[in-house]
Chains A and B, each alone.
Chain A
Amino acid sequence: MVSDDSGGAAAVPPGMFRRGMRVLWVAIRTEPVVFLVATAGASLHAAVTVASASVLGRITDDVILPAFDSGRTTAAALATAAALLLAVGLAKALGLAARRLYAGLMQYRMQARYRRSVSRAYLRLPLAWHHRHPTGQLLSNANADVESAWQPLAPLPMAIGSVFMLAVAAVAMVVTDPVLALVAFVTFPVLAVANVVFQRRVAPVAARAQALRAQVSEVAHESFDGALVVKTLGREDTETERFTASAHRLRDAQIEVGRLSAVFVPAMENLPNFGVLAVLLIGMHRLAGGAIDVGDLVQMSYLFTLLTLPIRSFGWILGDLPRSVVGWDRVQAVLGAEGAMADGTAAVGGSGGLRLSVRDLAFSYEDGYSADPARPGRDLADTPGTDAARTTVLHDVSFDIDPGRTVAIVGPTGSGKSTLTTLLMRLVDPDTGTVSLNGTDVRDLRRGEIARTAALVPQTTFVFEDTVRDNVTLGADIPDADVWAALRLARADSFVAALPDSLDTRLGERGTSLSGGQRQRLALARAVVRRPRLLILDDATSAVDPQIEAQILAGLRDTDLAATVVVVAYRRATIELADEVVYLERGTVSDRGTHAELLERSAGYRSLVTAYERAAADRAADLAAADTAPAGTPPGDPGDPRTDDADTTQEIAR
Chain B
Amino acid sequence: MTAPAPARDRGAAPGEAGGTPALHRSTDTALGTIRRGLRLSPEFARGLGLTLAFAVAATAGKVIVPVAVQQIIDRGLVPDGRPDLGFVTTMVAVCAGLLVVTMVCSYLMNLRLYRATESGLATLRRKAFRHVHDLSVLTQNSERKGALVSRVTSDVDQISTFMQFGGLMLIVSAGQLLIATVLMAVYSWQLTLLVWICFLPLLFGVRWLQRLLSRAYLKVRERTGEMLGAIGETVTGAAVIRAHAIEDRTAERIDTTVHATRTAQVRAQRLAMAVSPFAEIVAAVGNAAVVVAGVLLGLGGAITPGQLVAFLFLMTLFVTPMMMATEIFNEAQNAIAGWRRVLGVLDTVPDIADPGPAGRTLPRGPVGVRFEDVSYHYPDGPTVLDRVNEEITPGTRVAVVGETGSGKTTFVKLLTRLMDPAEGRVLLDGTDLREVAFASLRSRVVMVPQEGFLFDSSLGDNIRFARPEATDADLTTAITELGLADWLAGLAHGLDTPVGQRGESLSAGERQLVALVRAYIADPDLLVLDEATSAVDPDTEVRIQRALDRLTRGRTSVAIAHRLSTAEAADEVLVFDAGRVAQRGRHADLVARPGVYADLYASWVRSSA
B281 at the interface (CB under 8 A from A): yes
Contact B65 A650 (CB under 8 A): no
In the bound complex, what is the Cα–Cα distance between A643 and B366 (angstroms)?
10
In the bound complex, what is the Cα–Cα distance between A135 and B145 (angstroms)?
16
List chain A residues, Cβ under 8 A from B403.
Answer: 545, 547
Q: Nearest chain-B residue to A129 (Cβ)?
A: B238
Nearest CB in chain A: distance from B34 CB, A: 21
A14 at the interface (CB under 8 A from B): no
A97, A136, A143, A515: the one contacting B277 at CB < 8 Å is A97
List chain A residues, Cβ under 8 A from B229.
Answer: 465, 509-510
In the bound complex, what is the Cα–Cα distance between A266 and B91 (angstroms)?
22
Convert A66-88 into 0s and 1s, putting 1 for each residue whose CB lies closer than 8 angstroms to a CB of B. Answer: 01100111000010011101101
List chain A residues, Cβ under 8 A from B555.
Answer: 642
Contact B522 A280 (CB under 8 A): no
Contact B504 A377 (CB under 8 A): yes
Choose the segment among B103-111, B187-195, B374-382, B574-582 that binds chain A (4+ C-beta atoms closer than 8 Å). B103-111
Nearest CB in chain B: distance from A441 CB, A: 18
A142 at the interface (CB under 8 A from B): yes
Contact A112 B261 (CB under 8 A): yes
Which residues from 498 to 531 on chain B have a C-beta closer than 8 Å to any C-beta of chain A?
498, 500-502, 504-505, 507-510, 515, 518-519, 522-523, 525
List chain B residues, Cβ under 8 A from A67.
Answer: 295, 298-299
Which residues from 605 to 654 on chain A have a C-beta closer than 8 Å to any C-beta of chain B?
607-609, 611-616, 619, 634-637, 640, 642-643, 645-646, 648-652, 654
Contact B298 A68 (CB under 8 A): yes
B244, B441, B538: the one contacting A455 at CB < 8 Å is B244
List chain A residues, Cβ under 8 A from B126.
Answer: 240, 243-244, 247
Nearest CB in chain A: distance from B568 CB, A: 5
A287 at the interface (CB under 8 A from B): yes
B61 at the interface (CB under 8 A from A): yes
In the bound complex, what is the Cα–Cα distance between A257 and B289 (angstroms)?
43
A89, A229, A654: the one contacting B283 at CB < 8 Å is A89
A305 at the interface (CB under 8 A from B): yes
Contact B129 A220 (CB under 8 A): yes
A357 at the interface (CB under 8 A from B): no
CB contact under 8 A between A413 and B536, given known A255-B115, A294-B77, A305-B65:
yes
B114, B246, B550: the one contacting A262 at CB < 8 Å is B114
A175 at the interface (CB under 8 A from B): no
Contact B418 A385 (CB under 8 A): no
List chain B residues, Cβ under 8 A from A451.
Answer: 242-246
B465 at the interface (CB under 8 A from A): yes
Nearest CB in chain B: distance from A483 CB, A: 15
A284 at the interface (CB under 8 A from B): yes
List chain A residues, Cβ under 8 A from B77.
Answer: 287, 294
Nearest CB in chain B: distance from A426 CB, A: 8
A193 at the interface (CB under 8 A from B): no
Q: Nearest chain-B residue to A448 (Cβ)?
A: B245
Nearest CB in chain A: distance from B122 CB, A: 4
Contact A115 B395 (CB under 8 A): no
A11 at the interface (CB under 8 A from B): no
List chain B residues, Cβ under 8 A from A82.
Answer: 288-289, 291-292
A267 at the interface (CB under 8 A from B): yes
Contact A216 B153 (CB under 8 A): yes
Contact A229 B443 (CB under 8 A): no
Q: Nearest chain-B residue to A286 (Cβ)?
A: B83
Contact A123 B251 (CB under 8 A): yes
List chain B residues, Cβ under 8 A from A235.
Answer: 465-466
Contact A233 B238 (CB under 8 A): no
In the bound complex, what is the Cα–Cα distance between A459 and B535 (angstroms)?
10
List chain A residues, Cβ under 8 A from B515.
Answer: 229
List chain A residues, Cβ under 8 A from B91.
Answer: 280
Contact B153 A213 (CB under 8 A): yes
A33 at the interface (CB under 8 A from B): no
Convert A260-295 into 0s and 1s, putting 1 for each residue whose CB lies closer than 8 angstroms to a CB of B. Answer: 011101110110011011101100110110000010
Convert B290-306 into 0s and 1s, putting 1 for each residue whose CB lies closer than 8 angstroms to a CB of A. Answer: 01101110110000110
In the bound complex, what is the Cα–Cα distance between A573 and B140 (angstroms)?
39
Which residues from 537 to 557 on chain B have a C-beta closer than 8 Å to any C-beta of chain A?
537-542, 545-546, 550-551, 553-555
B216 at the interface (CB under 8 A from A): no
Which residues from 423 to 467 on chain A have a C-beta closer than 8 Å to any C-beta of chain B?
425, 427, 447-448, 450-452, 455-456, 458-462, 464-465
Query: Which interface residue of B288, B365, B449, B604 has the most chain A CB atoms within 10 A?
Result: B288
Which residues from 218 to 239 on chain B have a C-beta closer than 8 Å to any C-beta of chain A?
227-239
Query: Which interface residue of B273, B441, B538 has the most chain A CB atoms within 10 A?
Result: B538
Q: Nearest chain-A residue to B228 (Cβ)?
A: A143
Convert A119-146 into 0s and 1s, putting 1 for each residue whose CB lies closer than 8 angstroms to a CB of B. Answer: 1101110010010001110110011000
B312 at the interface (CB under 8 A from A): yes
A360 at the interface (CB under 8 A from B): no
A549 at the interface (CB under 8 A from B): yes
List chain A residues, Cβ under 8 A from B235.
Answer: 122, 130, 135, 138-139, 376
Nearest CB in chain A: distance from B219 CB, A: 14
Contact B395 A649 (CB under 8 A): yes
Choose the segment among B19-27, B201-209, B263-271, B334-342 that binds chain A (4+ C-beta atoms closer than 8 Å). B263-271
List chain A residues, Cβ under 8 A from B180.
Answer: none
In the bound complex, what is the Cα–Cα distance between A599 and B319 (angstroms)?
88
In the bound complex, what is the Cα–Cα distance between A574 and B538 (angstroms)?
14
Contact A233 B115 (CB under 8 A): no
Query: Which interface residue of B122, B230, B364 has the most chain A CB atoms within 10 A?
Result: B122
CB contact under 8 A between A243 and B129, given known A462-B239, A570-B538, A649-B394:
yes
In the bound complex, what is the Cα–Cα distance between A448 and B481 (angstroms)?
50
List chain A residues, Cβ under 8 A from B299.
Answer: 67-68, 71-73
In the bound complex, what is the Cα–Cα distance between A524 and B459 (angstroms)?
34
Nearest CB in chain B: distance from A238 CB, A: 7
B61, B133, B507: the one contacting A413 at CB < 8 Å is B507
List chain B residues, Cβ under 8 A from A284.
Answer: 72, 76, 83, 85, 88
In the bound complex, what is the Cα–Cα distance between A373 and B235 (angstroms)?
11
B10 at the interface (CB under 8 A from A): no
Contact B270 A101 (CB under 8 A): yes
CB contact under 8 A between A427 and B285, given known A225-B502, A615-B565:
no
Choose the segment among B92-100, B325-333, B423-431 that binds chain A (4+ C-beta atoms closer than 8 Å). B92-100
Contact A276 B68 (CB under 8 A): yes
List chain A residues, Cβ under 8 A from B239.
Answer: 127, 373-374, 422, 427, 458, 462
Contact B269 A233 (CB under 8 A): no
Contact A634 B468 (CB under 8 A): no
Q: Nearest chain-A residue to B607 (Cβ)?
A: A573
In the bound complex, what is the Cα–Cα distance between A222 and B439 (angstroms)?
22
Convert B142-159 into 0s and 1s, putting 1 for each residue whose CB lies closer than 8 angstroms to a CB of A. Answer: 001110110011000100
Nearest CB in chain B: distance from A475 CB, A: 4
Nearest CB in chain B: distance from A440 CB, A: 17
Q: Nearest chain-A residue to B443 (Cβ)?
A: A234
Contact A1 B228 (CB under 8 A): no
A123, A227, A244, A389: the one contacting B250 at CB < 8 Å is A123
Contact A65 B1 (CB under 8 A): no
B199 at the interface (CB under 8 A from A): no
B233, B447, B509: the one contacting A232 at CB < 8 Å is B447
A251, A509, A611: the one contacting B118 at CB < 8 Å is A251
CB contact under 8 A between A251 and B119, given known A216-B153, A220-B149:
yes
Contact A134 B501 (CB under 8 A): yes
In the bound complex, what is the Cα–Cα distance between A368 and B505 (angstroms)?
6
Known: A89-B281, A228-B453, A266-B107. 7 other contacts (CB 8 A): A78-B291, A220-B152, A232-B442, A277-B95, A367-B492, A377-B505, A546-B608
Q: Write 26 A-B pairs (CB below 8 A) sorted by A numbering.
A: A63-B291, A111-B262, A115-B227, A115-B254, A143-B6, A223-B129, A226-B502, A227-B133, A233-B442, A233-B522, A244-B129, A255-B114, A258-B118, A262-B111, A266-B106, A273-B64, A276-B65, A412-B537, A413-B537, A448-B245, A455-B244, A612-B608, A616-B568, A616-B609, A637-B481, A646-B554
List the 8 closest pairs (A to B, CB-CB), nearest first.
A89-B284, A234-B442, A258-B114, A646-B554, A649-B395, A451-B245, A262-B110, A93-B277
